[in-house]
Amino acid sequence: MSPSKKINAMKTIINILLLTVVCTMACNKDLLEKKPLTEYMEEDVWRDPNLVQAYVNDLYPKMRHGFNEVMLASMTDEARFIHNYGTTTSVTEAMSPEDLGALNLFGEWDKHYKAIRNCNIFFEMVGSAKDLSAEQRKRLTGEVHFLRAYFYHMLVKYWGGVPLVKQIFKLTDGEAMLIPRNSFEECVQYIVDECDSAMALLPEAHDRDNTGRATRFAAMALKSRMLLYAASDLFNRGGNTNNPEWGYVQVDQAARTARWQKAKAAALELMNTGAFALYKPTASAVDNYTRVFLDKNNSEIIFCKYFNKQQLGTSHDLYNGPNGYHNWGGNVPLENFVEGYQMEDGTDFSWANPAMAAKPYEKRDPRFYATILYNGVKWKKRPSDAVGLDPVGVIQTGRYEKRNGANIEVVNGLDTRQGPIENWNGSYTGYYLRKFMDINLDAQFFRGDQSWPFFRYAEILLNYAEASMELGEEGEARTIINEVRTRGGMPALGTSVTGAELERMYRYERRYELAFEEHRYFDARRWLIAETVFSGPAKAIEIYGKLNPDTLLYTYKVLTNGVQERKFTRKHYLLPIMAEEIRRNSKMTPNPGY
């Protein structure tokens, strides 16, 4: 709900109880004798510490994780969603204040303000809560400071400056509910202050019963991210100083330097705790990167969303797996993204190089093999009705010649849109997503329990490296970049890599280390490169296997037509404020270009 809507917060029915809390309360005879859970009124919540806990619990699901049918990657040069669901609107000039397309699923203006309202209710009422222990009151207060900061940071990332609503409105408040946008700088400072408050109250770790709650480290990571964004080009490019809420803040070089220094300090503060490290459980770079997203509570995860197979779990594998496994295809990687992976020796891949073009999937950055399912790679056992067609379990996204007696016929691969298993929900691009996937899971029938990483240590290291680089501290930046790069199995950058080349290599690392983790959309915008990298054709690969004589000789053709044509314009650097919001709030100003 927007801040301008009428709020009758103090007498609304609270539908907030998580299953785990209900189970705990079921053991308490007194609680079982209370009126039905669906009839708890606001005043009841603050009389019972279990209900106060449940109230805070209900805020966590408002943090939208990335294991959704449509991934934010499909609004970038990483992927295309094979259906529509408004994605075409979001990646073309069709996006408008009347229709954000799929991006409305991510920005979630109304949902974030509803969550912020509930945070505000907590702060207004927690002082009157009965029977909360001092430790519990402190922890819950810290959690809600973190959550309110997180919800605001989501709004600011998409829209720039937004209204900061810090109080609870009543029906009689009338005109007071019409709130103008705060400046981008004010929003950033508010988020940072909320993070600082959370850091002062939260523990560094929770006991087993409270696993998954915000920690001091989660607040530190959020602060690092927000300050990095605040120092970036998008929010420091000058512009109309009469409308600073747009985020186009005009500052002198000294002020810009101060912003980068704050960003660096925030990242360093978390690094200096020594609580996290890049995860390297094996000698294999491919396995190490794969397992970052599969191994629970590993050394790299700062804060994540947990899933339980017995309580729905995650459908990521089903949503994105190959159609030849009766999965749904989902968010398929673009050739635009795949061709950007370097060779394992650090040189750039090029289709113009005959040797590379003949074997495009050999000797690439090891993270490629942990992120992309490509034609010819061994995956997992096919379902029972398909194992006879492919007893090995190899991804097939091309067309192949096959002997049929004395004749040669051309067949479509099992994972194509014309394949014999399912011929409608296959990839448009010749690729499927590998990252986050559980190879041991039969996703057709079962759900996974992979965790979604809201914050992981590699991001913090890269935040620090970027701030150092922007401050002219190239040696320090290079050292940190190399930590991430060599864990990924790539050669370290030498001291000769400086200036524009160092920036290019940093951006390469951020793009491919953090792929499909909902960073690319914001990075391309804050670096002001989205007009280039998000525009033009979404590319695919066409693969043909020619029989020669008992083996297949593959040829590859990059397709630039037919997948999706995209257009990112200058005004898209910030999302439009929805027309409905502007109509109902006379003090709301639009973003430029809309």
Confidence of residue 26 (pLDDT cuts 50, 70, 90): very low
Structure tokens at 236: 């420091």
Q: Are 512 and 503 in contact (CB under 8 A)?
A: no
Task: Please give the Cα distance from 331 to 265 (Å, whole number).
Answer: 36
Task: Please give the Cα distance from 578 to 589 (Å, whole number).
Answer: 10
pLDDT of residue 247: 53
Percent of the chain exceeding pLDDT 90 equals 82
What is the sign of the dihedral through the CA atoms of 4, 9, 13 and 14? positive
Radius of gyration, CA atoms only, the chain: 25
Confidence of residue 593 (pLDDT cuts 50, 70, 90): confident
Mean pLDDT of the region 39-56: 84
Percent of the chain exceeding pLDDT 70 equals 90
Structure tokens at 250: 């005009």
DSSP 381: P
pLDDT digits (tens, 9 = 90+) for 184-209: 999 999 999 999 999 999 999 999 88
Asked if the model's pLDDT at residue 587 lies above 60, the reply is yes
Task: Please give the Cα distance from 317 to 434 (Å, whole number).
Answer: 9
Confidence of residue 498 (pLDDT cuts 50, 70, 90): very high
Task: Please give the Cα distance from 556 to 54 (Å, whole number).
Answer: 55
Mean pLDDT of the region 502-520: 98
The SS3 call for residue 333 is strand
Q: Are 46 and 126 in contact (CB under 8 A)?
A: yes
Task: Please give the Cα distance from 589 to 181 (Å, whole number).
Answer: 7
Lowest-confidence segment of 33-47, 316-330, 385-399, 524-538 by average pLDDT: 33-47
pLDDT of residue 172: 59
pLDDT digits (tens, 9 = 90+) for 462-478: 999 999 999 999 999 99
Contacts of 40 (CB under 8 A, 6+ apart): 13, 14, 51
The SS3 call for residue 304 is strand
9-64+108-229: CATH topology is: 1.25.40
Contacts of 549 (CB under 8 A, 6+ apart): none
Asked if the model's pLDDT at residue 212 lies above 90, the reply is yes
Asked if the model's pLDDT at residue 244 lies above 50, the reply is no
- In 3D, which of 371, 365, 317, 325 has the Cα closest to residue 341? 365
Domain boundaries, the chain: 9-64+108-229
- Cβ neighbours, 10 Å, residue 472: 10
